[in-house]
Homo-oligomer: A and B are copies of this chain.
Amino acid sequence: MREMHVAVLLFAFALTGTTLALDNGLMRTPPMGWLAWERYRCDIDCENDPKNCISENLFMDMADRLAEDGWKELGYVYVNIDDCWSSKQRDDQGRLQPDPKRFPGGIKKLAHYLHNRGLKLGIYGDMGKLTCMAYPGTPLDKIELDAQTFADWEVDMLKYDGCYSNAMEQELGYPLMSKALNATGRPIGYSCSWPAYQGGLPPKVNYTQLGEICNLWRNYGDIQDSWDSVLNIVDWFFENQDALTPAAGPGRWNDPDMLIIGDFGLSMEQSRSQMALWAIMAAPLFISNDLRTISSGAQSILRNEMAISINQDALGIQGRRIVKEKSGIEVFWRPLSKNASALLFFSRRTDMPYRYTTSLSKLSYTAGSYKVFNVFTDETASLKDSTEFVVSVNPTGVVMWYVSAPAKFNLRQFYQGGTLHGRVYDDREENAIPRVFL
């Protein structure tokens, strides 16, 4: 969707100091769209479950909804196939082919269907002998062929999973696919599951390299349709924020996996929390639900323009947890362009709304007067850094603010730390906090 800009690329070169292997110029902000897996899994029973099985009809249905119901205009443009789309056999020229019964029109025709509606098509492959659900994989000797096939089909994105391969094969395969995609000449967004298969952390995972070869990468396990799963993912990402946040930036994103908003397991509070936390994380926003039947409540959360704009901020800096109170209240912060920032108050409590008292100066904001915009209520306020305020945070819920400010932000201090002003912090967090952002 967004074309490569020379200035941006030069900046990227300057940062990394190495040759950029993936030069597709895509995904300067986190990609947004729809992905089949969490909601539809490997349902191939089109006879008994025709509306929900993995078939071209499902993807065309979702494309219709994205295009006709205003999702596309909000940025949700990718329609992504996951596992179980292909035939169990390659064709007589060794190429992957879709299941003929479920995709009788073929992938290229499906891509055209999407392109005609201003959407993009994502497809799924696996760096190994087999996909996770035992469909044909794309091992080392098939990478160039399959990349060319995807390009021939006019696919716009590839999720490259990692089942049925070992660490050494992955070390060869993920960069090789990056080069192969580049070599096709077609800009294809590249999602790498590699780090998730290697524990997600340095030194086993080299995030500098990942930023050079992939547009996004799954760091951690699959999301499930439960609040426990969301919390587990959030815990992991923020406990490891020192390792993860520097990896993110325009064109290269940590991916905590799909949004399950609109499915079965989250309350409205929890849905707002996932949306807000994914915005703080500068995470890809891939919905995985049934857009044909989604409730208005879930829609209003997924369509929240301020949350989306925070997620899509041009700086592309991934936010961090800056406070972890013993009361179960946590505060997250993300610097945004125009010296603005996002502040998120989150409650892990399971009893009743908690009245949390703090001030912007306690949250290390510099002196001054700020304008605060409440993302989920549209309320606004002016707030001095020294003014004590109370936010009432619902159990498992959030209060999210967009804070516009005259304050200047110092990227170097954000990563290198400074001094910290008087709050009680969890011990584990002591070393993980951006100290001063002047």
Q: Beta-carbon contacts of A370-409 to B below 8 Å, as 1s and 0s?
A: 0000000000000000000010001111000000000000
Q: Is A242 an interface residue (CB 8 A)?
A: no
Distance between Cα atoms of A297 and B52 in the complex (Å): 25
Q: Is A263 an interface residue (CB 8 A)?
A: yes
Distance between Cα atoms of A268 and B395 in the complex (Å): 16
Distance between Cα atoms of A224 and B396 in the complex (Å): 12
- Kindly list chain B residues whose C-beta atoms are within 8 Å of the C-beta of A327: none
Q: Beta-carbon contacts of A138-169 to B below 8 Å, as 1s and 0s?
A: 00000000000000000000000000000000
Closest CB of chain B to A358's CB: distance in Å?
15
Q: Beta-carbon contacts of A255-279 to B below 8 Å, as 1s and 0s?
A: 0000000011111111000000000
Partner-contacting stretch, out of A1-9, A38-46, A208-216, A313-321: A38-46
- Kindly list chain B residues whose C-beta atoms are within 8 Å of the C-beta of A227: 226-227, 265
- Give the residues from 339 to 359 in chain A that come closer than 8 angstroms, CB to CB, to chain B: 350-353, 355
Q: Are A264 and B267 in contact (CB under 8 A)?
A: yes
Q: Are B265 and A396 in contact (CB under 8 A)?
A: yes
Closest CB of chain B to A66's CB: distance in Å?
20
Closest CB of chain B to A132's CB: distance in Å?
14
Q: Is A235 an interface residue (CB 8 A)?
A: no
Distance between Cα atoms of A351 and B226 in the complex (Å): 9
Q: Is A225 an interface residue (CB 8 A)?
A: yes
Closest CB of chain B to A36's CB: distance in Å?
11
Q: Is A19 an interface residue (CB 8 A)?
A: no
Residue from A48, A229, A267, A270 with most neighbouring chain B CB atoms (10 Å): A267
- Kindly list chain B residues whose C-beta atoms are within 8 Å of the C-beta of A297: 297
- Kindly list chain B residues whose C-beta atoms are within 8 Å of the C-beta of A264: 267, 269, 394-397
- Kindly list chain B residues whose C-beta atoms are within 8 Å of the C-beta of A352: 39-41, 43, 52, 225
Q: Beta-carbon contacts of A404-430 to B below 8 Å, as 1s and 0s?
A: 000000000000000000000000000
Closest CB of chain B to A10's CB: distance in Å?
45
Distance between Cα atoms of A352 and B263 in the complex (Å): 9
- Kindly list chain B residues whose C-beta atoms are within 8 Å of the C-beta of A228: 228
Q: Is A49 an interface residue (CB 8 A)?
A: yes
Closest CB of chain B to A357's CB: distance in Å?
10
Closest CB of chain B to A264's CB: distance in Å?
4
- Kindly list chain B residues whose C-beta atoms are within 8 Å of the C-beta of A226: 227, 350, 395-396
Distance between Cα atoms of A370 and B269 in the complex (Å): 41
Distance between Cα atoms of A48 and B225 in the complex (Å): 37
Whether A229 contacts B350 in the complex (CB less than 8 A), given A264-B395, A265-B267, A269-B265, comes out as yes
Whether A350 contacts B397 in the complex (CB less than 8 A), given A48-B355, A227-B226, A227-B227, comes out as no
Can you list 20 residue pairs at the A/B interface with Cβ under 8 Å? A39-B352, A40-B352, A48-B355, A48-B390, A49-B355, A52-B352, A52-B353, A224-B350, A224-B351, A225-B351, A225-B395, A227-B227, A227-B265, A228-B228, A229-B350, A264-B394, A265-B267, A265-B270, A265-B395, A266-B267
Q: A residues engaging B (CB < 8 A)?
A: 38-41, 43, 45, 48-49, 52, 224-229, 263-270, 295, 297, 350-353, 355, 390, 394-397
